[in-house]
């Protein structure tokens, strides 16, 4: 059941018939309305005709593999969270897919309870992200600056966030970010902690001094308590660890935008 009392509709896509049947029954017992597809082509046709709250998608399938199906789902009109499920995953695939907007990446075998909980979280995160945060307005109004020195991460995150309707600008270092901030207003800046030249903490301090209306979210793959305390005491809105599920990150950006507009309005 969703938080609003409705039954969440889940599409389960896998070419292993026994796994498909057993997992569908397990998820149905845990409160989901489950439809199944034995391949990517069937799944995409079903998504064109029906609305689903979450998709659980096997990575390795004949024909269209899970990565291609995920990309087509992400590019489609229906904004639905996708959980990737596979027995043949790698850490690099996990990071890349989450950067591109996959909600989560789970390895087989995965217990039905774990899969059900992640699916519930995905549905709830999407519901919260779709509801405008107080004072934030529509996500299409949000002006976001993403600063990171990893081009692949920067490109993947920009695509994922842009698909959710925000206006996104990017910079690969602190100097470029400050130049952009001088020339246009941003509601939120998403800053990597570790960058050559001006690091994320130093850039945070400059932004809060020179552009106080811009809320700052710190994002890092190397978190530690000292950094978190320092960043929050210097005015960061939040401190997040890479990789972040895109729907959860979207919600954090919306909340930061709401705070920015309260201050400037």
Are 87 and 156 in a shared domain? no
Does residue 245 form part of some domain? yes
88 burial class (0-12, 13-18, 19+ CB within 10 angstroms)?
exposed
Burial 23-33 (b: 16+ CB within 10 A, else e): bbebbeebebe
Q: What is residue 139's DSSP assignment?
A: G
The 10 Å Cβ neighbour count of residue 172 is 18
Q: Using one digit for the tens of pLDDT, what is the confidence trace for 177-213?
A: 999 999 999 999 999 998 999 989 999 999 999 999 9
Q: Say yes or no: 112 and 172 in one domain.
A: no
In this prediction, residue 88 carries a pLDDT of: 66
**Total residue count of the chain as it appears in this document:** 265
pLDDT in tens, 24-50: 999 999 999 999 999 999 999 999 999
Give the start-end residues of each E strand in the chain. Answer: 9-13, 33-37, 54-58, 82-86, 104-107, 143-147, 167-171, 188-192, 215-220, 238-241
Tokens representing residue 116 in the block: 């059900």
Q: Are residues 147 and 115 in the same domain?
A: no
In this prediction, residue 45 carries a pLDDT of 94
- How far, in Å, CA of 6 to CA of 191, rounded? 37
Q: What are phi and psi of 223, to 5 degrees?
A: -75, 150
The torsion defined by the Cα of 47, 51, 57 and 63, in degrees rounded to 10, comes to -10
Shared domain for 106 and 162, answered yes or no, is no
Judgement on whether residues 163 and 123 belong to the same structural domain of the protein: no
Residue finishing a domain among 66, 95, 130: 130
Tokens, residue 227: 């950094």
Predicted local confidence at residue 225, as pLDDT: 66
Q: Is residue 2 part of a domain?
A: no
The reported pLDDT for the residue numbered 133 is 46
Beta strands in 19-116 (DSSP E): 33-37, 54-58, 82-86, 104-107
Final residue in a domain of this structure, among 104, 130, 156? 130
- Indicate if 173 and 248 belong to the same structural domain: yes
Which residues of the chain, if any, have pLDDT below 70?
Answer: 1-6, 77-78, 88-100, 128-140, 223-225, 263-265
DSSP annotation of 133: P
Range of the domain at 78: 9-130
Per the domain annotation, does 3 fall within a domain? no
156 with 96, same domain? no
In order of 202, 229, 239, 252, the CA distances from 236 in angstroms are 12, 10, 7, 12
pLDDT score recorded for residue 123: 87
Same-domain pairing of 182 and 250: yes
Q: Where among 130, 148, 180 does a domain terminate?
A: 130
Maximum Cα interatomic distance, the chain, rounded to a whole number of Å: 60
Question: How many CA atoms does the CB half-sphere of 256 hold within 13 Å?
Answer: 28
Residue 41 maps to which CATH number? 3.40.50.2300
Domain count of the fold of the chain: 2
Separation CA 161–CA 151 (nearest Å):
15
């Amino acid at each position: 059941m969703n938080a609003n009392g409705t039954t969440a509709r889940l599409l389960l896509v896998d070419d292993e018939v026994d796994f498909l049947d057993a997992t569908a029954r397990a998820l149905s017992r845990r409160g989901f309305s489950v439809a199944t597809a034995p391949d990517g082509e069937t799944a995409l046709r079903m998504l064109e005709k029906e609305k689903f709250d979450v998709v659980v998608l096997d990575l390795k399938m004949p024909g269209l593999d899970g990565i291609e199906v995920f990309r087509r789902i992400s590019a489609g009109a229906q904004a639905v969270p996708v959980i990737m499920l596979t027995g043949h995953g790698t850490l690099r695939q996990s990071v890349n897919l989450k950067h591109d907007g996959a909600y989560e990446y789970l390895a087989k075998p995965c217990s039905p309870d774990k899969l059900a909980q992640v699916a519930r979280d995905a549905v709830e995160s999407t519901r919260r992200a779709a509801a405008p945060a107080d004072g934030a307005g529509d996500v299409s109004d949000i002006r976001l600056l993403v600063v990171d020195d990893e081009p692949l991460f920067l490109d993947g995150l920009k695509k994922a966030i842009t698909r959710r309707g925000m206006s996104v600008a990017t910079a690969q270092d602190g100097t470029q970010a400050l130049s952009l901030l001088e020339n246009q207003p941003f509601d939120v800046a998403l800053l990597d902690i570790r960058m050559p030249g001006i690091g994320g903490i130093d850039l945070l301090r400059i932004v809060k001094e020179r552009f106080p209306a811009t809320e700052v979210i710190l994002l890092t793959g190397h978190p530690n308590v000292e950094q978190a305390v320092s960043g929050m005491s210097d005015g960061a809105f939040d401190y997040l660890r890479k990789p972040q599920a895109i729907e959860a990150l979207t919600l954090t950006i919306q909340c930061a935008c709401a705070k920015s507009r309260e201050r400037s309005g």
